[in-house]
Amino acid sequence: MQIIISNSSKEPIYEQITNQIKSSILTGELQEGSPIPSMRKLAKDLQISVITTKRAYEELEKAGFIYSIVGKGSFVAEQNLDLIKEKKLKVIEEQLSAVITNSREIGLSLDELQQIMRILYEE
Amino acid sequence: MDNVVELNNVTKQFKDFSVTDLNLQVKRGFVHGFIGANGAGKSTTIKMMMNLLKPDAGDVKVFGLDYKSHEKEIKERIGFVYDGNVFFEGMNLKDIKRIVAPAYKHWDDDVFKKYIDQFELPLNKSIKRFSKGMQMKASLAIALSHHAELIIMDEPTAGLDPIFRRELLELLQEIMIDGNRTIFFSTHITTDLDRIADYIAFINKGQLIFNKTIHEVSESYAIVKGRKELLDRDTEKAFVNIHQSSVGFEALTDDLAGAENTFGDSAVIERATLEDIMYYMKGGMQHV
Amino acid sequence: MFNLIRRDVILQKRLLMLFIPCLLFLIIMDANPAFIFLFASIYIPFNTYAYDEKTETNILLNSLPYTRNEIIASRYLGALVYMVLAVAITSLILLLFNRSFTIIDIALSIGLFLLFVAIALPLFYIFKPGYISPILMFSFIFLAIIGPRIVSFAADHLTVVTNFLINLSNPILYTGSALAALTVYGASWGFTTFVYKYKAL
């Protein structure tokens, strides 16, 4: 598991951590049941305070991404990946329909829209 | 027991200076930074925690025990690092160890040796001829070699070069992997704390201004910059202290959400560093 | 507690190496045996006090798991321990050099030693550091030079007192002075403990 944090980002550090661990789980880089470093170890490796990693882990736990066993550490929770994907897909559909509405308003064709999409996607 | 150190309504009066009505809790398992300008009362507070000074009023509890009846038990579990060398000057580390080690029931020679190797400290060289950084490392090696639960450090980074300070902070984090350890350390170099502190206590002119997690600090304090027209009797209430100049104002607020509400996009609102907070507080609180 | 007393030896390893040469020097200089005993007894404790006068030392000792009472007790008990050792070593050396000395010499030096410590020790804890060592150094030399003369002067001139003392039987005289010296020593101990208890470090 790799985590890169930025001290100059506006996003709080604990959020950077939760987001990166979440995406590692969603992409399958972290398998369910596999251990993640203890919050004290992670704090040391990232050179940040324990209370920050503690907060990140608490939020991940609340959101159901990880679980902790006292004395053993934290592990990736069983994820219903299909459900999460389905939810994300729904959000994407909503966002895309807004894009299509906007495109129609200024007369953008489907081809042109796809072209813009391709450029952005490959960026 | 959650609090390793508890100061309750502690007051200490000197001729020209006093620490008044101090209430401070230090939580187990965290790094607690103690900031304040020179002469704000940091050393006095630490001395009261170590029973080097007795408060005129109020009480000091360490590990839930008081010094009156448990002095030895308490100090057995504390490791200390002070600003400046308190060890006998002309002696070498080997002799200092021979004096200090028998004082502790739980002195661990293997741990001591490990740190001596790690810090590359010479055992036979007089400590007087150590550099400032080496003296600090020597104090630290001694402080860490008796399985102390609480490490109290008074200005450990003062006078150290940046590289060494980084190394020290890294080492402190390594120590903190053991969740039973607590570090309380005073400093006026606040960037040390930005990295590793979990809690920050801020003392100014003998009074504790706050004792919060770093998240609470960054979620309540902020710097607001804007045009002077924005200031009036109502909006000024949001600020701890305001600096005005011909080109606008800069002010510190301790109510970030409130300031965002009041000013919205009409002013620039930035994260306040610990240094900002100390600097603005130096002028004294305008409201409470 | 024993550690605190033992600490003195570690603390002044190097000074201890000068101990024997100093004694030899005094012997060769044909100094008064009582003075040699006194010098030997004071050597270690006095050097430690000079160390302990420093604020840093007090901060160190008080940060270690010792109580303030123990720190003071170690000073007073340590002085006695080192006195006994010093008297033993000195006697041995004097015997080796075939120099005569009497029990009176030892008793006199022990009495003076107890008195000196009883007066000097509290000063270290009352006054600011830096002044006491030189003052004591001078008063010690002064006492050592003048002390015996005063005694002999008194013996010659204050006949009332000497007659009174002479008329006392030896056992009473010795027990009396021993008790007096120990009382002063004990009182000094109690006083220093009290002063140190409330000292700000």
In a domain, A52, yes or no: yes
Q: Count the helices and strands in chain A (H runs, E runs).
A: 5, 3
Contacts of B170 in chain A (CB under 8 A): 44, 47
pLDDT of residue A25: 85
**Does C11 contact chain B (CB < 8 Å)?**
yes
Residues 60-79 of C with CB under 8 A from B: 60, 62-67
Q: Report whether pLDDT(C41) > 60.
A: yes
A67 lies in the same domain as A109: no
pLDDT of residue B287: 46
* Full residue range of the structural domain in which residue C193 is found: 2-197
Class of domain B221-282: alpha beta
What residues pair up with C16 in beta bridges, in sequence order? none
Q: Phi, psi (5° rounding) for residue B65?
A: -110, 155
Q: Which residue has the higher pLDDT, C161 or A65?
A: A65
A31 lies in the same domain as A47: yes
A18 lies in the same domain as A69: yes
Domain boundaries of chain B, sorted by first residue: 3-213, 221-282
Max distance between CA atoms of chain A, in angstroms, equals 61
Please report, for residues A62, A81, B36, the alpha-carbon distance to residue A85 in angstroms, rounded to integers and kept in the order given. 19, 6, 50
Q: Which residues contact B128 (CB under 8 A, 6 or more apart)?
A: B85, B89, B90
**Does A2 contact chain B (CB < 8 Å)?**
no
CATH architecture of B3-213: 3-Layer(aba) Sandwich (3.40)
E strand map for A31-101: 35-36, 66-69, 73-76
Report the candidate in B179, B133, B137 with the shortest Cα–Cα distance to residue B160. Answer: B133
Nearest CB to C10 within list B47, B80, B99: B99
Q: What is the pLDDT of residues A28-85, one digit of tens each?
A: 888 888 899 988 999 999 989 999 999 999 999 988 888 888 778 888 888 776 777 7
User: Angle at the Cα of B8 (from B5 to B11), degrees rounded to 5?
Assistant: 115
Q: Which residue has the higher pLDDT, C193 or C121?
A: C193
Please state, as a whole number, how many other Cβ atoms lie within 10 Å of the Cβ of residue C105.
Answer: 20
Phi-psi region of B9 (alpha: psi -120 to 50; beta: other; left: phi over 0): left
Report the gap between the CA of B251 and the closest CA in chain A (Å).
20
pLDDT of residue C165: 63
Partner chains of B (3+ C-beta pairs under 8 Å) = A, C
pLDDT of residue B27: 94
Q: For residue B33, give the chain A residue with the closest CA.
A: A49
Report the candidate in B17, B57, B23 with the shortest Cα–Cα distance to residue B38. Answer: B17
- SS3 for A50? helix
Mean pLDDT of C150-176: 68
Query: What value does the CA radius of gyration of chain C take, rounded to a whole number of Å?
Result: 18
pLDDT of residue C160: 65
**Does B167 contact chain A (CB < 8 Å)?**
no
**Does B123 contact chain C (CB < 8 Å)?**
no
A91 lies in the same domain as A68: no
Q: What is the pLDDT of residues B188-226, one digit of tens each?
A: 888 877 778 999 999 998 999 999 999 999 889 999 998
Predicted confidence band of residue C155 (pLDDT cuts 50, 70, 90): low
In a domain, A7, yes or no: no
A72 lies in the same domain as A36: yes
H/E stretch holding A51: helix A50-62
Alpha carbon A103 to chain centroid, angstroms = 29
Q: Which two tokens stand for residue C169?
A: 């039987």
Mean pLDDT of C174-192: 87
Contacts of C11 in chain B (CB under 8 A): 88, 91, 95, 99
Report the gap between the CA of B211 and the closest CA in chain A (Å).
14
A–B contact: 3+ Cβ pairs < 8 A: yes
Start-to-end CA span in chain B (Å): 31
DSSP code, position A28:
T
A–C contact: 3+ Cβ pairs < 8 A: no
pLDDT of residue B288: 38
pLDDT of residue C127: 73
Range with top average pLDDT, B203-217, B258-272, C50-64, C120-134: B203-217
* Full residue range of the structural domain in which residue A37 is found: 13-76
Residue A67 is part of a domain; what is its CATH number?
1.10.10.10
The number of domains in chain C is 1
H/E stretch holding B32: strand B31-35
Q: Which residues contact B57 (CB under 8 A, 6 or more apart)?
A: B9, B10, B11
Q: For residue C71, give the chain B residue with the closest CA.
A: B103
Contacts of B218 in chain A (CB under 8 A): 12
Decide: B212 and B257 in contact? Cβ < 8 Å: no
**Does B264 contact chain C (CB < 8 Å)?**
no
pLDDT of residue C111: 84
Low-confidence ranges of chain B (pLDDT < 50): 287-288
Predicted confidence band of residue C156 (pLDDT cuts 50, 70, 90): low
Burial A46-66 (b: 16+ CB within 10 A, else e): bebbbbbbbbbbebbeeeebb
**Amino acid, res. B165:** R
Query: What value does the CA radius of gyration of chain A take, rounded to a whole number of Å?
Result: 19
| Residue C63 to residue B102, Cβ atoms within 8 A | no
Nearest CB to A49 within list B170, B178, B197: B197
Q: Report whether pLDDT(C128) > 70.
A: no
Nearest CB to C63 within list B73, B80, B91: B80
Partner chains of C (3+ C-beta pairs under 8 Å) = B
| Residue B85 to residue C65, Cβ atoms within 8 A | no
Q: For residue B176, give the chain A residue with the closest CA.
A: A40
| Residue B53 to residue C10, Cβ atoms within 8 A | no
In a domain, A5, yes or no: no
Q: Which two tokens stand for residue C134?
A: 């030189």
In a domain, A65, yes or no: yes
Test mutation, B82, B88, B146, chain C, max C CBs within 10 A: B88
What residues pair up with B53 in beta bridges, in sequence order? none
Interatomic CA distance for residues B251 and C8, integer angstroms: 58
Interatomic CA distance for residues C55 and C132, integer angstroms: 13
In a domain, A60, yes or no: yes
pLDDT of residue B71: 93
Phi-psi region of A64 (alpha: psi -120 to 50; beta: other; left: phi over 0): left
Report the gap between the CA of A104 and the closest CA in chain B (Å).
33
Q: For residue B68, give the chain C residue with the closest CA.
A: C67
Partner chains of A (3+ C-beta pairs under 8 Å) = B
Predicted confidence band of residue C164 (pLDDT cuts 50, 70, 90): low
pLDDT of residue C137: 73
CB–CB contacts below 8 A, A to B: 45
- SS3 for B58? strand
Least confidently predicted of A88-102, A107-121, C114-128: C114-128
Report the gap between the CA of B84 and the closest CA in chain C (Å).
9
Test mutation, A44, A52, A53, A70, chain B, max B CBs within 10 A: A44
The number of domains in chain A is 2
Please report, for residues B4, C20, C158, C159, C160, the alpha-carbon distance to residue C167 in angstroms, rounded to integers and kept in the order given. 67, 40, 14, 11, 10
Mean pLDDT of C53-60: 81
**Amino acid, res. A113:** L
H/E stretch holding A26: helix A13-26
Interatomic CA distance for residues B214 and B191, integer angstroms: 13
Contacts of A38 in chain B (CB under 8 A): 177
A87 lies in the same domain as A105: yes
| Residue C65 to residue B72, Cβ atoms within 8 A | yes
Q: Give the HSE-up count for residue B138: Cα atoms under 13 Å, Cβ half-sphere.
A: 30
